[in-house]
Amino acid sequence: MQYFPPALVCPEMLWEWIQEHRWLAIVCLILLWNYYQKSKPMPPTGGRVIAVHSEGEWKEALQLTDLVLVDFFATWCPPCRSAAPYVGKLSEKYGAVTFVKVDVDEIRQLSVENGVSSLPTFQLFRNGQKIDETVGFRPAAIEHLLTKAGATVQPAPGDATTEENGSKAE
């Protein structure tokens, strides 16, 4: 009794099948890669980043401070995964700015309303109004958004650091 097709057991037959069905093999690889990416958990953001899960939370987050940096991301997006820890560190560096993250698959309407077409997209809001954005994970461009809008490097309230070594005071 045979449990597996010979093509899956014998490397020569598998290679022959791939050569005969190239496009199908490519589609299978893409589907497997997407499944693998979706199954990996999103890396922790850390810092003071607020995850928004509803329209109400979105409206509240935009009113927390004058400047709000929003990270529109998806869990399946590799650059978004790379950006998450960086955004967490920025949130500690720019204490007067509110940092928000929005999963576009969870709240699709927000990404449509804000014109998000590529991921990750970083949008900067002042007093609830979008003033600038950058697309893609480019650390210098993200930091430029903040400095261009007048954000200054200062730790968050209650996050005392010493100037000599940059470590948290105990």
DSSP 33-85: HHHHHHHSPPPP--TTEEEE-SHHHHHHHHTSSSEEEEEEE-TT-HHHHHHHH
Catalytic residue annotation: 77, 80
Domains and CATH numbers, the chain: 6-39 (no CATH), 49-148 (3.40.30.10)
Tokens coding 165: 């070594």
pLDDT value at position 5? 64
Q: Supply φ then ψ for residue 151, to 5 degrees.
A: -70, 135
Q: How confident is the chain (170 residues) per 10-residue block, as mean pLDDT?
A: 61 82 88 77 86 96 96 93 95 95 95 96 97 97 96 75 38
- For residue 149, what are the CA distances in angstroms to 43, 133, 140, 167? 28, 11, 14, 27
Whether 102 and 73 have beta carbons less than 8 Å apart is answered as yes
pLDDT value at position 119? 96
pLDDT value at position 164? 37
pTM > 0.75: yes or no? no
For residues 113 and 124, give the distance between their C-alpha atoms in angstroms, rounded to a whole number: 15
